[in-house]
Amino acid sequence: MRLRHVIISLVVWAAVVCIAFIITSVRTNHAKARIKDSGIETIQALSKLVSLPLLDSNAQTINAMLVYAARETPMVHAAVLDHQEEIVTFAGAEKVIPAPNPDEHPGEDTSFWRGELPDHKKIFGFASDVTYSGTTIGRIQIALPAQELVTIKNQFLIVGVLACVILLLVIISFRYYPRIWTAPTRLTNVYRRDTVLDPDLESSVVTCPLCGAQNSYSAKLFKRSNFGRLLVIRPSSRSGPGIDADLKGMRLSDLAKRDDLSWVKRRIVLRCAEIIKKLAG
């Protein structure tokens, strides 16, 4: 495999990884935005519902609200704390401790952070004050799963690994099995050879580029399977001095055996080279 092929393969692999990274970043940002919007909407609705029971210290009613909300939403944790930061009740997973300094504040009176549960499950945490008549009487916090982001990250890793494996397979196949890459060309040639002739060409003639002889256009014209038996030198139909009447002709395969006809062989080779050069140009 040439260095040029290796460089092209590496560039293609890098392009695939870069595109996958960009797509992953966009998907991650959209997923985070959806989770934020969902979390803010949920926690603000719950803070209004639990304000009156929290004022009455009705932990049973608050717990029923949290359990119902956990069933109807993807919440994995919800807890209500009083004004002394003591947990009144919670639902779902064990107590989730908010980050000391939440790094984002996506909504008014609502803080947001990323963390994990005791079982190392990734979550998005939200916290908001519970108010009654404009007075803060406690706080509520909930946690939503971040599994979607983990899935997106894993998909990116899979794409990167697959692209690397495919690159290695391509390099190995180029190095040790080059015939694999010529198979499509061979199949294309077979297809072209069996293609039905254009009706406009059926009445045409083909001139041999070697000798100039003309023949009717046909797909079988250049499909000789045994060129070695082709007679390239034949006796003249005229008889005369110096002409051997028993001469049957000379086959192409026998041409190389005659030193006195080496110039004929040389001319054929040169002519073929000229034809190939013109066709390739």
Same domain, 142 and 79: yes
Same structural domain for residues 78 and 141? yes
For residue range 11-25, what is the model confidence (pLDDT) as tens digits? 888 888 899 999 999
| Residue 261: domain span | 197-280
Note whether 217 and 271 are same-domain residues: yes
pLDDT at 27: 92
Is the separation of the CB atoms in 187 and 195 below 8 Å? no
Which of 90-99, 141-150, 192-201, 210-219 shows the lowest mean pLDDT across its residues?
192-201
Q: Where are the alpha helices (DSSP H) in 81-207?
A: 147-176, 179-193
How far is residue 89 from each of residues 79, 98, 118, 210, 231, measured CA to CA in Å? Answer: 6, 16, 18, 97, 103
For residue 163, is it within any domain? no
Q: Is residue 164 part of a domain?
A: no
Per-residue pLDDT at 198 exceeds 60: no
Instruction: Judge whether 217 lies within some domain.
Output: yes
Could you tell me how many helices (H) and strands (E) the chain has, helices first?
A: 6, 10
Q: How far apart are CA 51 and CA 57, in angstroms?
A: 10
Neighbours of 70 (CB within 10 A): 18
Domain count, the chain: 2
Of 116, 151, 186, the position where a domain reaches its end is: 151
Q: 117 and 46, same structural domain?
A: yes
Q: Does position 26 have pLDDT exceeding 90, yes or no?
A: yes
Note whether 36 and 104 are same-domain residues. yes
Shared-domain flag, residues 145 and 10: yes
Q: What are phi and psi of 108, to 5 degrees?
A: -65, 130
